[in-house]
Amino acid sequence: MGRGSTAAGSGNGVQTVERALDILELLSRRRGELGVSEIGSEVGLAGGTVHRLLSTLTARGYARQNPATRKYVLGPRALTLASAVRERLGVLARPFLRELMEISGESANLAALDKNSIVYMEQVPAPRMVRMFTEPGNRVPPHCTGTGKVLLAYQPEEAVDSIIRRSGLPRFTPRTITDPDRLREELACIREQGYALDTEEMEEGVRCLAAPVFAPDGKVLAAMSISGPAGRLDEERIRELIPHIRRIAESFSASLDVSPEAASGGGDDPGPG
């Protein structure tokens, strides 16, 4: 059956759902508005099919049309759904965070970038008398935390520039990076090595090691971290933990890919070992 011959009422509901999801995924990847012809070209659909699908998506609140330009962006319902997915992400991360905590002996955290700040979504605390209390829901600046620097490192350059302009780089300790060029250099290094360190940059006496979590489309989704007293997380201990946090973050990223290709490939168990 041809791509342009199936509409919502043709009986092929699965194909219709796939086409609607193609459109939603395209709108989620683009920052600007898209017209019907642009969308059709990107997803390989005829203009009439795109228009019918967008009409349904708009009516349900998953897409929104600008009356002035007649172009489309994601609607508020899609953004609400994304927020719900983010909350669910913390539940999915718990077994991976627990493994990270058990290996490191330190609190393990999951955090995401929300506008100009980092919000902690989930935590598995360490069973120690002295531990770091960065609780879920807490917000911190991105430029002086391990999770924040990891998340900034994988953002488009214009997004990093915008965050720096809006929030600045306030100093919290003598080690805080307050120079934009120095921060950009560190972000480039983080992309190369695949992890970030907070060496007492947010709070004296506290260190953090963080690694990125990626969505199936390759975009950074969140950051996993371990945090603890600098005396326990010294240079030697950090070196020991780097391969573990990278492996666990990669396993969590792989577990989020539910595509048929991922499900049928390899047969490896992506969960904690």
User: Which residue type is seen at 255?
Assistant: S
pLDDT per residue as tens digits for the range 127-171: 865 445 566 667 889 999 999 999 999 998 888 998 898 888 999
Tokens of 10: 């043709």
The residue ranking higher by pLDDT, 11 or 101, is 101
Looking at residue 268, its pLDDT comes to 44
Q: At residue 272, does pLDDT exceed 50?
A: no
Could you say which of 1.10.10.10, 3.40.640.10, 3.30.565.10, 1.25.40.10 is the CATH number of the domain covering 13-74? 1.10.10.10
**Comma-separated ranges of CATH 1.10.10.10 domains in the chain:** 13-74
Residue with tokens 């049309």: 65
pTM over cut 0.75: no
Q: Which CATH superfamily is 79-264 part of?
A: GAF domain (3.30.450.40)
Q: What is the pLDDT of residues 50-97, one digit of tens each?
A: 999 999 999 998 899 999 999 999 888 876 666 566 667 888 899 999
10 Å CB burial of residue 2 (0-12, 13-18, 19+) is: exposed
Span 196-226, pLDDT tens digits: 999 999 999 999 999 999 988 888 999 999 9
Look at residues 141, 104, 145 and name the one whose alpha carbon lies nearest to residue 125.
104
- The helix (run of H) or strand (run of E) holding residue 60 is none
Look at residue 110 and tell me whether its pLDDT is greater than 80.
Answer: yes
Torsion of CA 73, 76, 79, 84, to 10 degrees: -160
Which residue intervals of the chain bear CATH 3.30.450.40?
79-264
Q: Which helix (H) or strand (E) holds 20?
A: helix 13-29
Of 49-53, 101-105, 121-125, the poorest mean pLDDT is in 121-125
Q: How confident is the model at residue 2 (pLDDT cuts 50, 70, 90)?
A: very low
Residue with more model confidence, 5 or 255: 255
Whether residue 9 is predicted with pLDDT greater than 60 in this model: the reply is: no
